[in-house]
Chains A and B, each alone.
Chain A
Amino acid sequence: MTTMRIISLILMLSIAQYPAAAGDTMAIVTATGNPIDTLSIDTLKLIYLRKSQIDPHGNRWIPVNLPITDSLRHDFSLALFSIPPEEQEDYWNAQYFHGITPPTVMTSEEAVIRFVSSTPGSIGYVRKPKADNRVKILQLINPGGTK
């Protein structure tokens, strides 16, 4: 009985920490005018590491992130890199030494939609229901991997 209570408590705390994370499918979005229609997870990974900087049509990629405290950012980082965003700081410190900056951080999913829809070459992620007709979906990712 005590064990059940502890498990219940852990589950409740987990849900409280990431209230919207459970099962949210992420949509990788770009501007509707972008000629690219799909994107592999490997390419997406390189874009978010800033190792891929130019798309197949010659435009600069502009990846955007959500704040490090956002549960969707956490899920996105786990799905792509298998580590939480906090553990990527060593990587970004090393890149900073080479003049490479991490993706721009937007304040909310709506901000991501607004930025991506109006900025050629930009790419972001939002929860699938938030991806409306202002953006094009390039890829869907479940918290555990691709869909």
Chain B
Amino acid sequence: MRVSPLIYLLITALSISSASAADLDQANESYRLGSGYTVGDSGFRLGGYANLQFNAPHKAPWVVRTHDISLFLTWDSGSRLRFFSELEGGDVFWASQQESPSTRYGHFEFERFYFDELINDNLTVRLGKFLTPVGQWNPTHASPLVWTTNRPVATENLFSTHATGAMLHGTVSVAEHQLDYAVYGDMSSELDPHRSKDPFDNAVGAYFRYAVNDNLQIGSSFQHYKLAFHQGATYDLAGFDVAWSYQKHEISSEIVYRSNEQNANDHQWQGFIQGVSPLIDHWYLIGRYEFFEQTTEKTGQVGVFGLAFRPLPPLVWKVEYRWGQHNEMLAPDGLSASFAVLF
């Protein structure tokens, strides 16, 4: 891949340019695990995350792979304009019960690439490629930030996880509580030449998340869209999500409903509810129930039971077992484990 030497050169160049930026008043925190590498006072920050994953489904060979190696480049010099990109390397390493270790499935793409212009304290305009704001899982799906190796079906199956276009987003105060909002339009067919996995053809959508208090957030999502590879079908999607946390205990849930404007029989509900409880010494217990209506099968249902060991906030080991019915296509039975780190 030609990307790696380019990134190395960029890191080297930025490091040299920052060598004279020492400031004795500022704590010497140029690199910290989970926060990346700050390139002096240039406004650049480099970092990313990695995820090594093991899957052993009941009816398929086991696989070990680096599911993600993502590199972040952030630029924020204190002006109203800032930049963020995430270059993702998928399946760079792959070994399975039937295949010897190799890099043959490795692929790279910019998962995110956008500019933010801060218009005022309540409004930011984003242009570029970004994660689709549906629910709470998809916008923060990085492996070190979530509790299970496998993501719930409802957080990715009915919509494109990425959008390319423009977004207006920000935070406003409503009844003395924070309301985060995002309104966006997608033009993937014109602007995303890489054609990411199951992209939108075009879309408009909105997301609202209200902080009821410090422990409880509720959100709702709306979308009207066409998917590039779905033969012109036009979909409407509505979603609801809730997240509650108290002293490291968490309960979260997301539900989405999608209907097809051209076919009244084509409509699906999907959702999940997940609970997390701390055990001892950085160990956590996770339980999740999922359901997902499917186009060609009966409604799938799965249960996930897992353990996570988080010795430091940016670093997590996970193991989980998933089982269910009518779930072979989207969430097969089996054991999964992973190690993920924000670096």
Instruction: State whether the Cβ of A111 lies closer than 8 Å to any Cβ in chain B.
Output: yes
A77 CB → nearest B CB, Å: 13
Our pick among A58, A93, A99, A121 for the contact of B342 (Cβ within 8 Å) is A93
* Minimum C-beta distance from B314 to chain A (A): 6
Partner of B313, one of A52, A82, A89, A105: A89
Contact mask A60-101 → B, CB, 8 Å, 1/0?
A: 101000010000000000000110000001101110111101
B78 and A60 contact, CB distance less than 8 A: yes
**Contacts A51-B178, A53-B121 known; A99 to B313 CB distance under 8 Å?**
no
Residue numbers in B under 8 Å from A38 (CB-CB): none
Q: Which of A39-57 contact B (CB under 8 A)?
A: 42, 46, 51-56
Q: Which of B156-174 contact A (CB under 8 A)?
A: 171, 173
User: Which of chain B's residues have a CB closer than 8 A to the CB of A14?
Assistant: none
Nearest residue in B to A56 (C-beta to C-beta)? Answer: B121
- CB <8 Å contact, B29 and A105: yes
| Given A53-B118, A62-B78, A89-B34, A97-B25 contact (CB < 8 Å) | no
Q: How many whole Å from A140's CB to the nearest CB in chain B?
A: 22
A54 to B29 alpha-carbon distance, docked (Å): 25
Q: Which of B48-97 contact A (CB under 8 A)?
A: 49, 72, 74, 76, 78-80, 82, 84
Q: How large is the interface on A (under 10, 10 to 19, 20 to 34, 35 or more residues)?
A: 20 to 34
Q: Mark B133-153, 1 if CB is under 8 A from A, else 0.
A: 000000110101100000000
Q: How large is the interface on B (under 10, 10 to 19, 20 to 34, 35 or more residues)?
A: 35 or more
Q: Considering the chains assembled together, what is the distance between the CA atoms of A93 and B176 in angstroms?
A: 26
Beta-carbon contact of A106 and B35 below 8 Å: no
Among the listed B35, B84, B342, which residue makes an inter-chain contact with A102, where contact means beta carbons less than 8 Å apart? Answer: B35
Complex interface: chain B residues within 8 A of A54 (CB): 80, 118, 120-121
Whole-angstrom distance between the Cβ of B168 and the nearest chain A Cβ: 15
Q: Are A97 and B142 in contact, with the CB atoms below 8 A? A: yes
Q: Which residue of B lies closest to A55 (CB)?
A: B121
1/0 per position for A97-140, CB-CB distance to B under 8 A?
A: 11101101111100100110000010000000000000000000
Judged by a CB distance under 8 angstroms, whether B27 is at the interface is yes
Residues of chain A lying within 8 A (CB to CB) of residue B76: 99, 101
A82 to B36, CA, bound (A): 27
Interface string of B101-125 (1 = CB under 8 A from A): 0000000000000000010110000
- Among A82, A90, A98, A102, residue most surrounded by chain B Cβ atoms (within 10 Å): A98
Question: With A and B bound together, what is the CA distance between A20 and B82 in angstroms?
Answer: 39
> Which residue from A58, A96, A111 sits with its C-beta under 8 Å from B35?
A96
**Given A92-B34, A93-B314, A96-B342, is A115 in contact with B144 using a C-beta cutoff of 8 Å?**
no
Contact yes or no, A60 B80, CB < 8 A:
yes
In the bound complex, do residue A106 and residue B27 qualify as a contact, i.e. CB atoms below 8 Å apart? yes
Task: Chain B residues near A51: list those with CB within 8 A.
Answer: 171, 178
| CB-defined contacts of B35 to chain A, threshold 8 Å | 92, 96, 101-102
A115 in contact with B25 given A52-B121, A93-B342 (CB within 8 Å): yes
Cross-chain contact A99 with B72 (CB below 8 angstroms):
yes
Contact A107 B26 (CB under 8 A): yes
CA gap between A89 and B25 in the complex, in Å = 23
Q: Which 7 A-B residue pairings sit nearest by Cβ, starting from the closest?
A: A99-B84, A111-B25, A89-B313, A105-B27, A99-B74, A54-B121, A51-B171
Binding site for B on A (CB under 8 A): 42, 46, 51-56, 58, 60, 62, 67, 81-82, 89-90, 92-94, 96-99, 101-102, 104-108, 111, 114-115, 121
